[in-house]
Structure 1
Amino acid sequence: MLTFKTEVLKSKQKSDGTYNVKIRMTYNREVKRLSTNIFVRQEDLTKSFKLKNPKFIQEADAIVRYYQEICAKLQIGINNYSMDDIVAFLKGEQMKSQEIDFIQFSREWITHSTIKGVENYTSAVNAFVQFLGKDRLIIQQLTTSLLKDFMDYLVKKREEKIKMLKEQGKRVPSNRVVSLYLGSIRHLFNEAKKQYNDYDRDIILISHSPFENFKIPKQEATRKRAISANDILRIYELPYILDSKGKEKLGRFNLAKDCFILSFGLIGINSADLYSCEDISDDVITYFRAKTSARRNDKAKMKVKVMDIIKPLVNKYRDRTGKKVFNFYQNYTTADSFNKAINYGLKQIGEILRIEDLEYYAARHSWATLAVNKVGIDKYTVHAALNHIDEAMKVTDIYIERDFEVENEANRKVIEYVFNIY
């Protein structure tokens, strides 16, 4: 027989001096306790720790009756439910009566998430809160209509930003915000469904699907940042800034010049990987591309041979401690600060050479563009050299051990073309 009884445990006093009123369940000599939202103090209890405050007695009795009515419908004796089955069902019924705050859930999910790019979710939620004008939204209120209004809001904000940038004579970046933010909200909504819906026990707290009839616009194509072979050669040949003694000056200008050429010569290596790579052996740098390593079985492994043209730069910045390949981490505490320093210097170089919007990523774009258009490297090889994911070949890639010879041969040809090495 299943019985319910109100109980306060003397040993479970909280730091604020209160006790949580629990409902003790007994079934087939097994005991379980369910917490309630009732908290009492010493003065609300008898010496034997029984409730004596009429208000709390009434509230606790109401919960007991509620549980008794629910379990009566289960026909426990006929269906042979276990204690765990009963507890799970009662918790599910409790959950059905609660309101799920989508904003609160999202912020908690972001706090505990370990996925890369989690800051994008923070930005999306902050923009959503700004649109709502409040930091609370019951999840049932997240409708298709609300999503459309949010999209219109983002588009309007984008138009205002474009107007401001044009007035200031600044470059208008590619539009990623609308698709990125809406995609982030969709992912957070799906994560909420995973947490609150128990399909095995038919406990569905989030039953609607606002994204089912809502189309998230595609992200605009990334702005083409490739520069010509001649411009790369001009950057390479650009004189360093010297100090009063005629020695090469330490600073972002010279750093940017060198790192741009390093990136180009190492098949467009990202600044984060240039900053953190740790393995060099026999003039081959092995690293795992930070941007995609968490999403790939091979950890986005890449091996790049150091060509003769950039060996002086590799030696110039070698980490003499052996901790990493390069010593950039000794002058910049994070990869982000390192990247910002490079791009600051490249803005100076771009102004001198009249290369509009020159930035670090142009080295990677330029390598790919020149490889295909000027050197005749096939797109599949370029795809592999850039260490991109090939969705169509995922299964095949499991069985193939890459030796990176084809990619490095392609790099040799690109280097020879740009630097006129024959």
Structure 2
Amino acid sequence: MPTFKTVIHPRYKKADGVFRVKIRITHNKQSRYIPTCYYASSSEVNEKFDFKRGTSYVRDTMPIIDEYRKICNKCADKIETMNVDQIVELIKNYKEDENFKLDFIAFGRRHIQQLRDNDHKGNADMYQCALNAFVRFLRRNKIDINEITSRVVKQFITFLENEKPRAGHKKGRRSPSLYCATLKALHNVAKAEYNDEDIGVIRIPLSPFSRTKVPPIPRTEKKPMTLEQLRAVFNVPDDDTFQRRGDYNIRNLGRDIGLLSFFLIGINTVDLYNCTGIQNGRLIYNRTKTKNRRQDKAKIDIRIEPEALALIEKYRDPTGVRLFEFHRKYANSDIFNAQVNKGLKRVGKVINFPDLETYTFRRTWASIAWNHCGIRDDIVNFALGHSPREEKKLAHIYITEDWNIVDKANRAVIDFVKSNQTEVSLTNSKYISNETAPEKSVQAPVAS
């Protein structure tokens, strides 16, 4: 157990001749000093730098030393394994923790800004949506983190389940699970920053999200297009109705970007918006959605097929700043994505697919590759830029990625869609199996 003594330190004599009174903490033959609010003059200190008789500093600082001993006694099971610096930190933190307050909303907004500053825009947007929903529920912009209990979380879930959607929007079913998971992550970030379990400093003791049963994330109802619907997109004619000067016809834009996404294996609009150029006939980029979560920065390397090149030339940036001119038409990728999806809703009316959106083309590529072209699911995952399954991650450390496999798979999918085939012949190939198999013809199932 550490010992405490009221002292002055001769090295820290101030210019006016006074000394700061300090509490010396000694533990395992090492000493550190915590300053008090008291000052002793030179006339109150003898030649050995002890307090002279008649001074009251030792008596005045006894309550401080008593408080320090109480703190150490509370953590007696840990004190013996701590060094003197950790004990000093423990004492200082305990003094600060008596009235600890943390505005959870303000903390969340600071964390969101840090995510944006570090180029984690997608995560920042998700945290922002969850925090905005929490503010709507609270009907105020401030709440202390220790006010958030499991009861509050349950009330928040009920609020989300009953909240009416915005005008013109459908009510989603994912918000209770998604927002609670996001706020739980934010709550854990705060605990990691302000708690220190190693030295017994627990400023945020509650775990309200862990103690509350959150509804599971419902299985998505969004489906890919059927083969017939995708082929119908190819035949959607140009819309010659009014468009603003210098802008695109919105239906034509939606159709073109949807097909371009398909030809480029489900590329997202944010990546189209930010693309900088073509390298040796290939589009090489880091997928924005996952590049900050993966060691390989979610690198994608796609050969540009002739069908894609025609659309690239149609929208190429004449200034050469980026590959496409979208950045000259729209202030950011979110606005670009919104316009594309508006156009796709109009395309969807033509092909009888009302929920058509950019991600539909990504799902459709994967479904046709698997269901109609017999491409192995691991190649489909690789082509889409998904991380390898947990049991295969170690192997991928040693594997040199060969994007030619993806090129062949993409060509096979495009050729199949452009043909009049409705059934596929599965033959021995690297796409289907590593073993020799006799050729057989099977009826291709409709993508669902």
TM-score (norm 2): 0.72
Alignment of 1:19-98 (within 5 A): 66-72=63-69, 84-85=85-86, 87-98=88-99
CA distance in 2, matches of 1:103, 1:224: 33
Q: Is the 8 A contact 1:347 1:357 kept in 2?
A: yes
Change (3 A) 1:255 1:212: closer
Among candidates 107, 110, 114, match of residue 109 of structure 2? 107
Corresponding residue SS for 2:199: coil
Contact in 2 for aligned 1:317/1:326 (Cα 8 Å)? yes
User: How many angstroms does 1:229 deviate by?
Assistant: 2.6
Residues 258, 92 of structure 1: CA spacing in aligned structure 2 closer, same or farther, 3 A cutoff?
Answer: same
Q: Which residues in structure 2 correspond to 1:89-238 (within 5 Å)?
A: 89-101=90-102, 102-113=104-115, 114=118, 115=120, 116-157=122-163, 160-161=164-165, 172=170, 174-238=172-236
Alignment gaps of 5+ in structure 2: 9-19, 38-57, 74-78, 422-448
CA shift in 2, pair 1:317/1:24, >3 Å = farther
Q: 235-244 or 216-225: which moved more?
A: 235-244
Shift of 1:26: 6.7
Equivalent position amino acid for 2:415 in 1:
E
In structure 2, distance between residues paired with 1:92 and 1:396: 46
Kindly indicate which of the two structures has a greater share of residues assigned to helix.
1
Task: Write the distance in 2 (CA, Å) between the matches of 1:252 and 1:104.
Answer: 39
The percent of aligned pairs where both chains have the same amino acid is 32
User: Helix, strand or coil: the match of 1:294?
Assistant: coil
Aligned residues of 1:243 and 1:249 also touching (Cα < 8 A): no
286-295 vs 351-360, which deviates more?
Answer: 351-360
Q: Distance in 1 between matches of 2:204 and 2:414?
A: 56
Q: Kindly name which structure, 1 or 2, has the bigger radius of gyration based on alpha carbons.
A: 2
Q: Retained in 1: the 8 A contact 2:32–2:88?
A: no
Mapped to 1, the partners of 2:296 and 2:346 lie a distance apart of 38
Q: CA deviation at 1:79?
A: 8.1
Q: Per the alignment, in what secondary structure is the counterpart of residue 124 of structure 1?
A: helix
The answer to whether the 8 Å contact 1:253/1:348 transfers is: yes
After TM superposition, list the pairs within 5 Å mapping 1:242-257 onto structure 2.
242=240, 250-257=248-255
Contact 1:99–1:138 (8 Å) recurs in 2:
no
Aligned residues between the structures? 374
Aligned-pair distance for 1:82? 7.5
Q: Is contact 1:224-1:365 (8 Å) kept?
A: no
Query: How far apart are the structure 2 equivalents of 1:385 and 1:189?
Result: 35
Using the TM superposition, give the Cα deviation of residue 29 of structure 1 relative to its aligned residue in structure 2, in angstroms: 9.9
- Give the CA deviation at 1:194: 0.8
Hey, what's the Cα distance between the residues in 2 that align with 1:81 and 1:358? 61
Give the 3-state SS of the residue equivalent to 2:358 in structure 1: coil
- Cα deviation, 1:91-150, whole Å, max 9, x if unaligned, reads 211232023333343333333334442222222223223323444434333222332222
Larger mean CA deviation between 367-376 and 22-31 belongs to 22-31
Which residue matches 1:351? 349
Alpha-carbon distance, 1:338 to partner: 1.1
What does residue 272 of structure 2 align with?
A: 274
1: CA distance, partners of 2:193 / 2:241: 60
Match of 2:292, SS?
A: helix
**8 A contact 2:86–2:199 mirrored in 1:** no
5+ residue gaps, structure 1, are 6-21, 37-60
Moved more, 320-329 or 289-298: 320-329
Which SS does the other structure have where 1:287 is aligned? strand
Partner of 1:46 in structure 2?
none
> For residue 397 of structure 1, what is the aligned residue in structure 2?
396
Structure 1 segment 273-352 matched on structure 2, within 5 A: 273-352=271-350
Determine the C-alpha separation between the residues in 2 that align with 1:240 and 1:329. Answer: 23
Residues 182-213 of structure 1 deviation map (CA, whole Å, 9 limit, x = unaligned): 10121122112112211221212223333443
C-alpha separation in 1, matches of 2:131 and 2:59: 39
Contact 1:287–1:301 (CA under 8 A) maintained in structure 2: yes
Task: Kindly provide the CA deviation profile for residues 334-357 of structure 1, in whole angstroms up to 9, marking residues without a partner as x.
Answer: 111111111122222223343312
Q: Is the 8 Å Cα contact of residues 173 and 223 (structure 1) preserved in structure 2?
A: no
Cα distance in 1 between the residues matched to 2:275 and 2:21 = 57
Give me the whole-angstrom Cα distance separating, in 2, the residues matched to 1:62 and 1:2. Answer: 11
Q: Is the 8 A contact 1:304 1:408 kept in 2?
A: yes
Q: Return the offset for 1:279.
A: 3.9
8 A Cα contact 1:174 1:221, kept in partner: no
Q: Residue type matched to 1:95 in 2?
A: E
Mark the CA change 1:298 to 1:32 in structure 2 (over 3 Å): closer, same or farther. same
**What TM-score results when the alignment is normalised by the length of structure 1?**
0.76
Alpha-carbon contact 2:176-2:215 (below 8 Å) kept: yes
